[in-house]
Amino acid sequence: MTDLKGLKAVVTGGASGIGLATARLLAERGADAAVLDLRPEPLPEPLCGHRADVADDASVRAAVEAAAEDLGGIDVLINNAGIGAVGTVEDNDDDEWRRLWEVNVLGIVRVSRAALPHLRRAAAVHPGGAAIVNTCSIAATAGLPQRAAYSASKGAVLSLTLAMAADHVAEGIRVNCVTPGTVDTPWVGRLLDRAADPEAERAALNARQPTGRLVTAGEVAAAIAYLASPAAGAVTGTALAVDGGMHGL
Ligand code: NAD
């Protein structure tokens, strides 16, 4: 287990699911973690939270500055906040497509823009010690049915990760992403609750996984923590799949 003592980390969408598991794991390993979320309370100790809507630039700037002040800087940014949409290109109207772009893609752009001056200061002290990890999805490349807008937004997250890695490598800031498969979080719980028989639907979902079970939020958090850690000091511009073997199937 990597010691992250002294690392100052900001996690967007950190009040639930993958983001909460990541913030908790970083804190368990010694990091100081701040959560930015639409609904940041209640959070388990010792996490601190700031309200932010990643679709709103003013709210992002205020929350990033407040988190930097709380933590005494920012070494690591986890861009994890995201929303989904079910449907084909005929099912989702332009407003739904714009909403996914605003949150899933421009959300990363806004938070990164606000955090980069802090990451640059951190990198000046510890080159390669500053990092951004984006939560992408296998939807970026797997060609999933009924996920047109979501897949397109995550495809953009993958391209953005590679472009940002190239832009900031010389500054000592690493940029990577994780591509989770189907992860057992409240997000998936909400989708299952809409089914006529949620338990049967969960069993069917498990059966579709090569491992016979969903990925856990803790397993994705462990991959994010690795990419954020000094152990990944030579890793930038990569996508780490945490998908139980689902990728490309
Ligand atoms: P979740 O719904 O449990 O948590 C998402 C969090 O993001 C919530 O706390 C929510 O309040 C926050 N959030 C949403 N919109 C926001 C906004 N505009 N500003 C700030 N915070 C906002 O979902 P999760 O399953 O943990 O998903 C987290 C990330 O993982 C998302 O980017 C999602 O696309 C990605 N992902 C999830 C799965 C999965 O199967 N659960 C698979 C692949 C990728």
Give me the residues paired with residue 36 across strands.
12, 50
Residue 57 domain flag: yes
Residue 101 domain flag: yes
Cα gap 249→235, rounded to integer Å: 26
The per-residue pLDDT for range 201-226, each reduced to its tens digit, is 999 999 999 999 999 999 999 999 99
Residue 190 domain flag: no
The per-residue pLDDT for range 82-110, each reduced to its tens digit, is 999 999 999 999 999 999 999 999 999 99
The per-residue pLDDT for range 109-168, each reduced to its tens digit, is 999 999 999 999 999 998 778 999 999 999 999 999 999 999 999 999 999 999 999 999
Region of 78 on the Ramachandran plot (φ > 0 left; ψ -120 to 50 alpha; else beta): beta
Q: What is the mean pLDDT of the chain?
A: 95
What distance lies between CA 130 and its chain's CA centroid? 16
Determine the pLDDT at residue 249: 47
* Ligand 1 center to 81 CA (angstroms): 5
Q: Can you tell me the ipTM of this complex?
A: 0.99
In the block, residue with structure tokens 């832009």: 167
Residue 121 domain flag: yes
Per-residue pLDDT band for 248 (boundaries 50, 70, 90) equals low
Give me the residues paired with residue 2 across strands.
none
| Strands annotated E in 152-198 | 173-180, 183-184
Residue 202 domain flag: no
Number of domains in the chain: 1
Residue nearest to atom 34 of ligand 1 (CA): 82
52 lines ligand 1 (CB under 6 A): yes
Q: Are 202 and 225 spatial neighbours (Cβ–Cβ below 8 Å)? A: no
172 lines ligand 1 (CB under 6 A): no
Q: What CATH number has the domain bearing residue 56? A: 3.40.50.720
Residue 1 domain flag: no
Give me the residues paired with residue 239 across strands.
177
| Whether the bond into 230 is cis, omega within 30 of 0 | no
Would you name the residues annotated as active-site residues? 150
183 lines ligand 1 (CB under 6 A): yes
Residue 206 domain flag: no
Residue 88 domain flag: yes
**Region 38-43: what's the mean pLDDT?**
92
SS3 56: coil
Structural domain span for residue 225: 8-182+216-242
Which numbered atom of ligand 1 lies nearest the CA of 102? 18
